[in-house]
Amino acid sequence: MDLKLAHEEFERGITHTGFHYTMSLIKRKYKLGIIYCLMMNGPTRYNELKRRLEAATFRSLTNSLKELEADGLISRKEYSQISPKVEYDLTEKGKSMTPFLELLCDWGCEHMPKEK
Amino acid sequence: MDLKLAHEEFERGITHTGFHYTMSLIKRKYKLGIIYCLMMNGPTRYNELKRRLEAATFRSLTNSLKELEADGLISRKEYSQISPKVEYDLTEKGKSMTPFLELLCDWGCEHMPKEK
DNA sequence: CAGCATCCCAGAAGATACTG
DNA sequence: CAGTATCTTCTGGGATGCTG
């Protein structure tokens, strides 16, 4: 699979607004989850991410990570050592998304149904 | 189709964080677009919404509107007159989401690729 | 005008097995 | 450990036609 830019469709599209651009970057199910996780925990290894995002499978996770990296939101750092170690972290661009992600979380906490 | 709460899966789920709650509400493709549109233009009629969200079909639009209403983010007001008129608008809950939506747009404008 | 019903399809995700 | 490959499943959306 070649490195696909998640926003390439956006590029070809007609509506070049900031809104659509942001949406194109976070469309996949677990992308925001990944960013959220990195925001809370700092650099994180592949398997650790997998563990935190229980629901995601390796495949979904890998796809999301690749696109996020291609879009410059996260960085991938590989340590060459016997048992492979790869850490993912937010880039500056990724970090710049955290205020809005925090707002998203706060909003959810305030408005989620109380008891059930 | 019965009125489905978009976040009902969330309710049954295990991860009851604000983050997941918000995500469950805005998952569908055009939901944020609708809120965005209502935020910019105030009360809007069904066909007007359809026109502004060019890409969406009636079906997608209707589904999104129903869930948004069920989740209390928008209101539906029906005027009984010969040629039917229905206006959608943001509820207080919906309005409270606008800051975060604005942030999303601003972020996109700042970070979207310059020329192409 | 504001929908609903039906059929179809694509893309994303789940499950599972394998590898440098 | 950090993936890749393959197959299947399923949700959401596109297209079209009908209706109170």
Mean pLDDT of chain A: 85
**Residue A59 counted as domain residue:** yes
Looking at the predicted structure, is the pLDDT value of residue A8 above 60? Answer: no
Q: Does residue A21 sit within a domain? A: no
Return the H-helix or E-strand segment holding A64: helix A58-70
Residue B76 lies in a domain: yes
A2 is a domain residue = no
Q: State both tokens at A104.
A: 């998203």
Q: How many domains would you assign to chain B?
A: 1
Structural domain containing residue B48: 30-111
Pairwise CA distance, residues B79 & B94, whole Å: 21
Residue B107 is assigned to a structural domain of this protein = yes
> Do B74 and B32 contact (CB within 8 A), yes or no?
no
Nucleotides of D under 7 A from a protein CB: 1-6, 12-17, 20
Residue of B11, B33, B107 lying closest to A97 (CB–CB) = B107
Confidence of residue A12 (pLDDT cuts 50, 70, 90): very low
Task: Dump pLDDT digits (tens) for A21-64.
Answer: 898 899 898 999 999 899 999 999 999 999 988 889 999 999 99
Residue B20 lies in a domain: no
Residue A105 lies in a domain: yes
Query: Considering the domain boundaries, does residue B88 fall inside one?
Result: yes
Q: What is the pLDDT of residue A10?
A: 47
Q: If you average pLDDT over residues B76-96, what whole number do you get?
A: 94
- Backbone dihedral angles phi then psi of residue B75, each to the nearest 5 degrees: -115, 150
Contact B31, B64 (CB under 8 A): yes
| Alpha-carbon dihedral angle through residues B105, B59, B8, B37, given to the nearest 10 degrees | 20
CATH number of the domain at B70, please.
1.10.10.10
Residue B40 touches partner A, C-beta closer than 8 Å: no
| Residue A3, pLDDT score | 45
